[in-house]
Amino acid sequence: MAIAMRVRADNGDVRILMTHPSENGLRKDAKSGQRVPAHFVKNMTVAVNGKTVLDGQLGGGMSKDPYHSFKVRGMKTGDKVIVTAEDNTGDKGSIETTVS
């Protein structure tokens, strides 16, 4: 299943929200008492006009629905931003936007 994401970029700032359970493999299900298998985003990239500005390795310690916001020097209106993500099960997602 594709990883769903939303992205906004303006005023030198990129904000990304992913929809993902972010399970670290240690949590026990309240009903069954069984450990919920690890399921988290492992890699993300953000490129502005084709140049990678963030290449992230992530662990299961990210909160559910991982959120990132960061500032990029020199980013301007009309620049193209592409975000990609991949989790530990091989599911992938990508989204692009134009800096407003």
Q: How far is the CB of 90 from other proteins (least distance, A)?
A: 12
Tokens describing residue 71: 């500032």
Binding piece for other proteins, criterion CB under 8 A, among 1-9, 51-59, 77-85, 92-100: 51-59
Q: Applying CB under 8 A, does 72 fall inside the site for other proteins?
A: yes
CA-based angle 97:13:42, to the nearest 5? 70
The arrangement of strands across the sheet holding 80-87 comes to 41-48, 80-87, 92-98
Q: How far is the CB of 66 from other proteins (least distance, A)?
A: 7
43: Cα within 13 Å, side-chain hemisphere: 10
By rule CB under 8 A, what count of residues binds other proteins? 36
Taking CB under 8 A as the criterion, which residues in 78-97 touch other proteins?
none
Taking CB under 8 A as the criterion, which residues in 20-49 touch other proteins?
22, 24, 26-28, 35-36, 42-43, 48
Q: Tell whether the torsion through CA atoms of 72, 3, 78 and 80 is positive or negative.
A: positive
